[in-house]
Amino acid sequence: MKALIHVTLKPGVLDPQGKAVQNALGSLGFSGVDGVRQGKFIEIDLTESDAAKARDNVEAMCKQLLANTVIEDYSIEITE
């Protein structure tokens, strides 16, 4: 199975990386950009074939390593 994980900053947490991208887009002449937030996208190949078990496992990975749950949210999608 494959796990697709999005890790994003919680609303309200400052995102200097996103701000830098927004400024750079402005410098390049792109107008109409109201805001930019940058997060991480992680794909994990799992040998586990049970979707529920895979999700529990990945949930634990997110809490322990992949996301800093003080300032970040994560979402998990399990696919074939």
Give residues in contact with a copy of itself (CB under 8 A). Answer: 6-8, 18, 21, 24-25, 28, 30, 32-48, 57, 60-61, 64-66
CB of 70 to a copy of itself, least distance (A): 19
CB of 2 to a copy of itself, least distance (A): 9
| Residue whose C-alpha is closest to residue 39's, from 8, 78, 70 | 8
Coil, helix or strand at residue 21: helix
Cα distances (Å, whole numbers) of residue 5 to 32, 63, 75, 80:
29, 12, 6, 14
CB of 21 to a copy of itself, least distance (A): 7
